[in-house]
Amino acid sequence: MTTSFPPRGDLRRRVLAGEPTVGAFVGLGSPAAAELVARAGFDWALVDLEHGMGSVADLHAQLLAVQTTPTAALVRVPSVERLRIDRALDLGADGVMLPQVRSAAEAHDGVSWMRYPPDGVRGVALATRGAGYGAVDHPAIAARVNESLLGVFQVESPEAVSAADDLASIDGVDVLFVGPADLSHNMGIPGQISHPDFTAALDQVIAATRRHGKAAGILLRDGASVAASHARGFTFLGVGSDLAFVIAGARRELDAARDALRA
């Protein structure tokens, strides 16, 4: 169990060192589900406010649930806006995922909203959970927090793929994370993740992160898909969600019961 207050910078250090990490999305809006995912031992759990069932009103409890464990608590904000990013970080997220980033200009804005001055324009409030409830004073807050936060920027469009090198060159863009569903749909090849154009896009993103010492991330269907993706160059690996785990477990046990009754 960790005793350090958020944001805890260990995940960012590991990611930028090139260490593979495995995480899961948390979308049920349930603190219990978030805690169960974290206690399973994932490196990170990402509370999904873009597509998940919970809202920012549910976020504090989910962050607390994850951060009773060593698992890092990340938040996918609904959109790249200053107040949405600020709110997640003030509540104590260890990092944020920004969806639908299409250009370096948007990424620069996102990084600036994540960081306290002089590195950014995040509003300074020391009495927040993300600032240690006043445990860090004004002279130390920027250095303590800015370097701890993991910045995950999603590549979900042909424009973002084309801008991958510019995106990866930005300090604070730590991970370029491919969303296969959105990217394939926006490329006009929905769901065709083996299509040559799609795999070429993946390689372009991976090459950009390698040139700039950043990490390439992707959301996978399951843990069995990790080996091939890691061999390709992905190191920030999402392997499902609390919702998917419930569905898979329920179906597996029901199938076993039906098979037993038919035997």
Note the pLDDT of residue 5.
77
* Domain presence at residue 43: yes
Enter the pTM of the model. 0.95
Largest distance between two CA atoms of the chain: 71
Q: One of 51, 185, 195, 212 is an active-site residue; which one?
A: 51
Give yes or no: 51 in active site.
yes
- With 80 as the cut, is the pLDDT of residue 1 above it? no
Q: What is the pLDDT of residues 242-260, one digit of tens each?
A: 999 999 999 999 999 999 9
Alpha helices (runs of H) in 115-225, residue ranges in sequence order: 138-146, 158-162, 164-168, 180-186, 196-211
CA separation for the pair 234, 229 (Å, rounded): 6
Which H, E and C letters describe 85-138, residue by residue?
Answer: HHHHHHCCCCEEEECCCCCHHHHHHHHHHHCCCCCCCCCCCCCCHHHHHHCCCH
* Tens of pLDDT, residues 100-131: 999 999 999 999 999 999 999 999 999 999 99
What is the reported pLDDT for 53?
A: 96
Q: Is residue 5 part of a domain?
A: no
Tell me, what's the pLDDT at 126? 93
In a domain, 73, yes or no: yes
* Total structural domains within the chain: 1
Angle between helices 82-90 and 104-114 (to 10 degrees): 40
97 domain-assigned: yes
Does residue 105 fall inside a structural domain? yes
Query: Which residue range is the domain that position 146 belongs to?
Result: 10-262
Tokens of 13: 């250090």
- Residue 151: strand, helix, or coil: strand
5-26: pLDDT as tens digits = 789 999 999 999 999 999 999 9
Say how far apart CA 171 and CA 107 lie, in whole Å. Answer: 10
Exposure letters 30-50 (e unless 16+ CB within 10 A, then b): bbebbbbbbeeebbbbbbbbb
Rounded distance between C-alpha atoms, residue 154 and residue 163, angstroms: 12
| The pLDDT value given to residue 247 | 97
pLDDT in tens, 165-223: 999 999 999 999 999 999 999 999 999 999 999 999 999 999 999 999 999 999 999 99
CATH number at residue 243: 3.20.20.60
Residue 1 covered by a domain: no
Does the pLDDT of residue 3 top 50, yes or no? no
Pick from 176, 163, 182: which is nearest to 217 by CA? Answer: 176
Residues 6+ apart with CB under 8 A from 174: 12, 15, 16, 95, 150, 151, 152, 214, 215
Domain membership of residue 4 (yes or no) is no
Strands (E), 41-91: 44-48, 72-76
Q: Is 60 exceeded by the pLDDT of residue 2?
A: no
pLDDT for the residue 136: 87
Q: Would the pLDDT of 34 be above 80?
A: yes
